[in-house]
Amino acid sequence: MNGHCFEDDNESEKSFASAPEWETKPIRSCPLQPHVLLSLDQKLKRIIFIQQTDQSYHKALSDICDQMIISVLIEPFFYGRHCNASVIVIATANNTYVFDLKAMGAIFSELSKLLEAECPRKIMHYSHRICDLLLHQHKLRINGISDTFVAWCVARQDRSHCTLQEAISLTFDLHPSELTCDEIKSVTESVRNFTARPLSRGQLQYLGKIAILQHKLHDTLIYENICRDLQLMSGKFSCEFNKQSNSDEVAMEMGPTSKAGFDCIDASYKITSTIN
């Protein structure tokens, strides 16, 4: 999944109509374990709300710059260039930042460069809408994108609509009520309330929770679904010597030219990509 933008040839509907049918697959659901829920609760208690280019802002940029991958959420975004972003939420491995664009007035150059760089990679959902907004409202071309909607479609072999909240709910067996707050009861109210100020604690925690779980959704879709066979092969390969108790025999099989365990790797398992 790449963040480069290409010119639209206005044939997306024709391309979709002529695309081969997929056989829908079930998603491997992974209920969140108690320690994960505890970690999530702790992270939500220390959300950092940024309204100006102060010390917190620069610490956030430093943290983001050190990451290999981040989760990015923007509200509102659903209509792309036809709405103005009110907040940008970025979740790193340990911290979650909510940048108040209404208060800041712009996405300043330091953050812009991070968003446009290939690294850190950015996890997004419906990135085509987000990128349209950022391009036309802020002149930013986002790169290094890993889209959870694309991953969802590939994992399920299904190109049906699925919002981020729906994907999170289905993947982690969470009731939809756990992915909202008092101020949000519909899409229209979501847009209205995220553009109004001040933002409530409930809204900030909602934004933080979705951003954090979007990151976990990405990993679950990739490693527990799309690359499931690869993970299984890796597991078998890692256990190759566990079944042997004779240290001398193991030593012989650990020579530089040994192919011990190579039979675990399925040569027919290939991921190919053709660019016309």
Omega before residue 20 within 30° of 0, cis: no
pLDDT surpasses 60 at 110: yes
For residue 91, what are the β-bridge partners? 71, 96
Q: Which three-class secondary structure state does DSSP give residue 116?
A: helix
- The percentage of the chain sitting over the pLDDT mark of 70, rounded to a whole number, equals 86
Mean pLDDT of 224-242: 89
Residue-range domain boundaries for the chain:
25-229
pLDDT at position 276 is 39
Rounded Cα gap, residues 215 and 231, in angstroms: 19
Average pLDDT, the chain: 88
pLDDT in tens, 135-193: 999 999 999 999 999 999 999 999 899 999 999 999 999 999 899 888 887 666 666 67
pLDDT, position 275: 39
Which class is domain 25-229? alpha beta
Residue whose pair of structure tokens reads 């553009």 in the numeric block: 195
Cβ–Cβ < 8 Å for 66, 117 = no
Q: Which two tokens stand for residue 31?
A: 């209920």
Q: What is the pLDDT of residue 25?
A: 85
Nearest residue to 105 (alpha-carbon basis) of 27, 50, 42:
50
Confidence (pLDDT) at 229: 86
Q: Which pLDDT value is given to residue 273?
A: 41
Enter the pTM of the model: 0.84
